């Protein structure tokens, strides 16, 4: 279940419960993480996932656009995010798990916001997540 | 004389009230327990290691009849293989469909109990799911219940335990670990406090068509005092299924 993931994987594994957890992670590369620095074009505080739309300069004068999936607003709010934490035009840096098919998207691991705060996506600490 | 009679009537009324209250279902402290409020999965993602006395006990073996066992094992193998490839198979959640029963009681996000004498209402934050457990009604025959996501639930208090019987869950609404079920499935739940702030829902799936034996597992929850349940509308679903049945993510750059 895509909406049932991050932050809850640990609980899901412990509870040995339902099918509700895993396959959604499989789309992303949890080993070869990537850091993206760019400018926010949209911050979508929506279910089933929050999305950060980011323009990233490639160093040679052009821009590549990325769609970064975060946990749900429910998970993010419970770990301290606010819907106002990211705004269009913010310069931010994201550590992501890129899509394994090479497309310009991924799943958030941590975000360094415009005000310098480093926010998690709700994964268990220590990089133990699904690796 | 009049005064005496009045006093006697008064005493009789008090005795009647006391007798009535004694006849009510008794919880651990002599009253029906109060499950009202929000509960999250125990111990939860940041809850640390569970107290073994409060953790959910292990599930019983899932024993499917031969006709259902092979397709189920084949599905599980395909799921694992697809995930390894990075191309997860679609399922109900890919289409933003709710978990239904018994999946919603897993409490992937918090659940809330609202309790009255006649009804216990349970709300799951994930997908804003609602189920109603009627305490003052008899159960319907299975064939009288239009198949749905939550079925028809009736309950009663047995001491400190809320005992619920549910029938009428659609066959496409898969159970724990994606287990299949027939239209003859009954979900039997026993919900009780195992500590001041930890609740267990012991769930037994009885299905004479699909299961060799009833399958029992337990969900454990921790109390979340003061927590305000959030809304959940699946409005921005970027998942889509490609021509090979694989789940993909829609990107703005595409």
Give the pLDDT score at A7.
40
| SS3 state of residue B164 | strand
Choice between B243 and B134, residue whose per-residue pLDDT is larger: B134
Check: complex ipTM more than 0.95: no
Residues 11-40 of A with CB under 8 A from B: 11-12, 14-20, 22-29
pTM of the model: 0.83
Which of B231, B247, B252 to mutate against chain A (most A CBs within 10 Å)?
B252
In B, minimum Cα distance to A123 occurs at: B45
Q: Is A126 left (phi over 0), alpha (psi -120 to 50) or beta?
A: left
| SS3 state of residue B113 | strand
Whether residues B82 and A23 touch (CB distance < 8 A) is answered with: yes
Q: Which CATH architecture has domain A28-120?
A: Beta Barrel (2.40)
Whether residues A65 and B253 touch (CB distance < 8 A) is answered with: yes
Give the pLDDT score at B29.
52
Q: What is the distance between the alpha carbons of residues B29 and B45, in angstroms, rounded to a whole number?
A: 32
Q: What is the distance between the alpha carbons of residues A121 and A105, in angstroms, rounded to a whole number?
A: 15
Average model confidence (pLDDT) across chain B: 88
Give the pLDDT score at B93.
80
- Which distant-in-sequence residues (6+ apart) come within 8 Å of A43 by Cβ? A50, A51, A52, A53, A85, A86, A87, A88
| SS3 state of residue B125 | coil
Give the pLDDT score at B30.
63
User: Would you tell me how many other CB atoms lie within 10 Å of the CB of residue A60?
Assistant: 5
What is the tens place of the pLDDT at every residue in B190-235?
999 999 999 999 999 999 999 999 999 999 999 999 999 999 999 9
Looking at the predicted structure, is the pLDDT value of residue A10 above 70?
A: no
Looking at the predicted structure, is the pLDDT value of residue B28 above 60?
A: no
What is the tens place of the pLDDT at every residue in A12-35?
333 333 323 334 678 899 899 999
């Amino acid at each position: 279940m895509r909406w049932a993931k991050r932050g809850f994987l640990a609980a899901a594994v412990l509870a040995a419960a339902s099918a509700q957890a895993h396959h959604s992670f499989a789309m992303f590369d949890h080993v070869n993480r990537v850091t993206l620095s760019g400018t926010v074009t949209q911050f979508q505080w929506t279910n089933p996932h929050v999305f950060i739309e980011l323009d990233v300069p490639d160093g040679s004068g052009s821009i590549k656009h990325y769609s970064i999936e975060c946990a749900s607003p429910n998970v993010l709010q419970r770990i301290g995010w606010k819907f106002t934490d990211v705004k269009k035009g913010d310069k931010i840096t994201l550590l992501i798990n890129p899509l394994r098919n090479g497309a310009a998207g991924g799943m958030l691991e941590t975000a360094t916001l415009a005000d310098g705060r480093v926010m998690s996506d709700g994964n268990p600490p220590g990089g133990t997540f699904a690796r | 004389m009049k005064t005496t009679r009045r006093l006697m009537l008064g005493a009789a009324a008090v005795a009647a009230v006391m007798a009535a209250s004694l006849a009510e279902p008794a919880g651990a402290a002599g009253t029906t327990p109060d499950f009202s409020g929000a509960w999250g999965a125990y111990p939860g993602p940041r809850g640390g290691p569970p107290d073994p006395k409060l953790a959910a006990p292990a599930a019983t073996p899932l024993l499917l009849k031969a006709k259902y066992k092979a397709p189920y094992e084949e599905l599980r193998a395909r799921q694992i293989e697809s995930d390894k490839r990075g191309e997860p198979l679609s399922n109900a959640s890919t289409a933003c469909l709710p978990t239904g029963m018994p999946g919603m009681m897993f409490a992937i996000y918090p659940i809330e109990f609202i309790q009255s004498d006649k009804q216990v209402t349970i709300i799951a934050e994930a997908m804003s799911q609602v189920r109603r457990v009627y305490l003052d009604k008899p159960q319907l025959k299975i064939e009288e219940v239009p198949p749905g996501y939550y079925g028809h639930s009736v309950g009663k208090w047995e001491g400190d335990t809320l005992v619920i019987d549910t029938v009428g869950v659609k066959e496409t609404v898969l159970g724990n670990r994606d287990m299949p079920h027939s239209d003859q499935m009954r979900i039997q739940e026993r919900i009780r406090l195992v500590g001041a702030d930890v609740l267990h829902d012991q769930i037994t799936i009885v299905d004479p068509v699909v299961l060799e034996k009833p399958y029992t597992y337990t969900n454990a929850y921790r109390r979340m005092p003061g927590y305000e349940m959030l809304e959940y509308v699946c409005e921005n679903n970027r998942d889509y299924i490609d021509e090979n049945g694989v789940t993909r993510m829609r990107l703005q750059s595409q």
